[in-house]
Structure 1
Amino acid sequence: MGIDSERRFEEIYGSAYGALFGYALRRCLDPEDAADIVAETFIVAWRRIEEVPKGDGARLWLFGVARKVLANHRRGERRHEQRTSALRSELAASPPVVESADSDPSPLRKVFRALSEDDQELLALVAWEQLDAGQIAKTLGISRNAARVRLYRARKRFARGLAEADIDHPQTVVVEGSLL
């Protein structure tokens, strides 16, 4: 993008920002959403500056882009609401088990909770999400080898904790209904 394109964008931005923001504000419930729509509209204009018409056509072109951005925003909100509603229904059908503050967790749970958060996460990814070392590596953004090493060490620390708590454990241990 050359200096002329940058100047042109700045001119378009300066002349159309207020009108676009007003357009978005009148169509959004949340001023932050309106600001996001205007920002995204100008991102499109920046990327496609060569396609932006000259003169008053630029403002009208931006309104067209803002209209499409707003439509995408609304579709995203509807999808979010649908997913949230479905999740609420699912949770209402099978409420999660929540321990009360005065309940005494099982010895196994105490050992698990005594592990570091990283160890708990690794073991949970194996037991609850049933991920293998390669999948864990992708999830955590680490190498497959690093995932294997971390998982091996977490299992060893868990086994040590079980032994210290005098909990008999075979090679696979059930933690809250899942195998480790």
Structure 2
Amino acid sequence: MQEAELIKQAQKGVTSCFTQLVTRYQVRLYSYLLARCHHPEDADDVLQETFMNAFQYIKSYQPKWAFSTWLYTIARRLLVSRHKRYYVAIEDVELASDDTNELHSLDHNNFWRLIKKYVSADCYDALWFHYKEDKPIKQVADILKKSESWVKTNLYRSKMKLRQVPALSRLLEEL
């Protein structure tokens, strides 16, 4: 069944259709949450709460937005509202000598983890949604509640900043 039809049926109260939507998005959404939470258990909790909220408010979903954008917005709001408990504070840091081992073994598995050390939380989210989730600039702006020009500017600035880290610059070329 197509996503639009699953959504319509879920809005009518057909739980099996909502379950199919959960199945389609849970892995990607969990990956997003795991990258931002201190512990996998926290990501599990926020994931569950995201889908509970989505189920509760599915009737308010409007098809003018992508369903994934709506879900990520719910998840991001939950993270921000639980800032002290769940959201990993990300600050700009200088490359420390103890990062060199991590940089030498850099691959796609720890690439995103290392990026968190060099960019702000909002910039990290913009990079994640645009490059990891393949969201267009407009959807990234909608999720982050920022302007499209903010997203474009900060994607560019973040990439320029990350290119200054030699090991990261190699993988950035693949973005």
TM-score range, shorter chain: 0.3 to 0.5
TM-score scaled by length of structure 1: 0.38
- Which structure has the higher relative contact order (CA within 8 Å, separation 6+)? 2
TM-score scaled by length of structure 2: 0.39
Q: Work out which of the two has the higher radius of gyration on C-alpha atoms and give 1 or 2.
A: 1
